Amino acid sequence: MPDENPAPPREEAFLRLSRTSPRDNQQRQLIVKLDGATLGTLIYGRSSRVPITAGRHELVVNNTFVWKTVKFELKPGEEIHYQLINRNGRFTWFLVATLGAGPMYISVEQEPSPPHP
């Protein structure tokens, strides 16, 4: 017998993450979390497209030194695309040469999403 009160279907949206900017220093991995759950790590040259539920979300990206948080909202069927960039600060290489380590910062930039097929 079919369920008389089936759960409503989940309204799907998509999150696209890329790490392909020529401004990226190509160092370290970026750790990505969505709503507190780890999605994984993103290394330079890679992209990922993840189905998520429509609604409000919080994206947190870190390189184990700096954390960046972005809040966004998607409607069913929408896709949002972020370019993740691990970049040097003004004195990063000086500090690396002097101390053996230096700060790297994160940029999270929204980009136009490709049209839906």
3-class SS string, the chain? CCCCCCCCCCCEEEEEEECCCCCCCCCCCEEEEECCEEEEEECCCCEEEEEEECEEEEEEEECCCCEEEEEEEECCCCEEEEEEEEEECCCHHHHHHHHCCCCEEEEEEEECCCCCC
**Domain locations in the chain?**
12-111
| One-letter amino acid of 102 | G
Burial of 34 (0-12, 13-18, 19+ CB in 10 A): middle
pLDDT at 105: 86
Cα-flanking dihedrals φ and ψ of residue 95, to 5°? -70, -35
**Second-level CATH architecture of 12-111:** Sandwich (2.60)
pTM: 0.79
4: number of Cβ within 10 Å: 5
Q: Give, rounded to a whole angstrom, the gap between the first and last alpha carbons of the chain.
A: 37
Per-residue tens of pLDDT for the chain, all 117 residues: 455 655 545 689 999 999 999 999 898 899 999 999 999 999 999 999 999 999 999 999 999 889 999 999 999 999 999 999 998 866 555 455 565 555 678 999 999 866 655
pLDDT at 104: 78
pLDDT at 43: 96
